[in-house]
Amino acid sequence: MKFIRLFLLLFILLISYFLLTNSLPFSGGLVVIIGILSLLWLVSLVVKDASIIDAFWGLGFVVLAWFYHFQVTDNQNVRSLVLCILTTLWGVRLALHIGIRNHGKGEDYRYQAWRLEHGKNFWWISLFRVFLLQGFLLWIIAVPLLVGQISTENNLQLFDYLGIIIWIIGFLFEVFGDWQLVQFKKNPDNKGKLLNSGLWKYTRHPNYFGDAFLWWGYFCFTISVGGYWTIFSPILMTFLLMRVSGVALLEKKLVETKPQYKEYIEKTSAFFPMMPKEK
């Protein structure tokens, strides 16, 4: 708990400093996200499905990356364009994957549980608990997408190239992890079975690992311009995927619904790719 409190205190101090020195683009990004998510919330009330926000998660970072691009650079800045293009490839791919996966399946069980919990009040509670909360997290995590573009240096630097390499590794893990799972589920013979081959042999969540790992690539872009303090962003993203919305939440359900999952847990790393343990 002490570590978490110290991290939160440092986080607040760093954000306060950044707001004082770069308030216009950063605060403007928050306004943009709140506006878009408020409209999305209204759509969710019409379709009675709060889970439509899941597909927007990746697109939100794309919107912020390009918003910051036009606020602090010009179209001739190579570093800025590379960072925006990488963000766009990741965000659009993720949005399409989630949108196609969720199409026609109704509201996600997480939001259904909250809808049942709050009853008639869910319509307004969802604005804060679902949409604005995720919007705030999105805005905070996206700080490297702004800091990485604040530079008069046009050419890519050493840490930029390192960031691109890290991003590619993470992106491939996420894309092929998702693709292998989709192909596995398409086969009716695999109903009730576990995917434990391919990337899933080395980590129980290659897609989540890849998602977190590529954010360390974005962080490398900030190192080139002295933005070491933005390390809280990939740490926060990794923490959320491991302990909050990703691994922890999904595995709780899998352990309850798939008895063989306990054996899979004993043999396979939860997050970071490792050789499977021998029985």
pLDDT confidence band for 24 (50 / 70 / 90): low
Q: Under 8 Å CB-to-CB from 123, ≥6 apart: which residues?
A: 45
pLDDT confidence band for 12 (50 / 70 / 90): low
What DSSP line would sit under 73-126, residue for residue?
A: --TT-HHHHHHHHHHHHHHHHHHHHHHHHHTTS-S-HHHHHHHHHHGGGHHHHH
Residue corresponding to tokens 């086969």:
187
The CA distance from 79 to 73, in Å, is: 10
The CA distance from 65 to 69, in Å, is: 6
Average model confidence (pLDDT) across the chain: 88
Q: What is the pLDDT of residues 62-78, one digit of tens each?
A: 999 999 999 887 767 89
Q: What pLDDT does residue 11 have? A: 57
Q: What pLDDT does residue 6 have? A: 59
Is the pTM here over 0.85, yes or no?
yes
